Structure 1
Amino acid sequence: MKELKNEKELVKRAMALGTAYGEKRGVVEFEATDSATDKLEYIYRLLVHDKLIQPLPPDQLSQKAIRHRLAIWASKQPD
């Protein structure tokens, strides 16, 4: 897995887009005390459930892989 050129910014964008998507759908309200790790994992699972991204194989599921997958998803979203 090769890191994307601006992966950190894309992960931040994915968190913003994913949070907005989840709130618009009415399935989540994040608290200020929720960690970024928890938010990213929830967003990943929501997008997999809605079939917007392909799930990672269970043996490859890690925080780094989730961040990478969400960064790729965010890079494909319109501005």
Structure 2
Amino acid sequence: MKKLKNEKELIKKAIALGMIYGEKRGAVQFEKTDSANEKIEYIYRLLVHDKLMQPLPEEQVSQQSIRHKLAIWASKQKT
């Protein structure tokens, strides 16, 4: 897995877009006390559930791989 050039910024963008998507959909209400890791995992699972993203094989699911996958997703989103 090759790290993206601006992966940190893309992760921030993915969290912001994912939070908006989840709340508009009515699937989640994020709290200020939720950690970034919790948000990232929930957003990933929601996007996979809604078939907006291909799932990783369950044995490859980790915070690092989820972050990378969300960064790729965010890079393809129009803002």
TM range (shorter): over 0.9
What is the rounded CA distance, in whole Å, between the counterparts of 1:21 and 1:31 in structure 2? 15
What is the rounded CA distance, in whole Å, between the counterparts of 1:25 and 1:4 in structure 2? 29
For each residue in 1:45-64, what CA deviation from the matched residue of structure 2 results, as whole angstroms up to 9, or x when unmatched?
Answer: 00000000000001110000
Question: Which runs of 5 or more residues in structure 1 are unaligned?
Answer: none
Amino-acid identity (%): 73
Structure 1 letter corresponding to 2:75: S
Q: Which residue in the other structure is 2:25 paired with?
A: 25
Structure 2 letter corresponding to 1:22: G
Question: What secondary structure does 2:24 align onto?
Answer: helix
Q: Which residue in the other structure is 1:67 paired with?
A: 67
Q: Which residue in the other structure is 1:77 paired with?
A: 77
* Alignment RMSD (CA, Å): 0.4
Question: Which runs of 5 or more residues in structure 2 are unaligned?
Answer: none
What is the rounded CA distance, in whole Å, between the counterparts of 1:50 and 1:65 in structure 2? 19
Per the normalisation by structure 1, the TM-score is: 0.98
Question: What secondary structure does 2:3 align onto?
Answer: coil
Q: Which residue in the other structure is 2:8 paired with?
A: 8
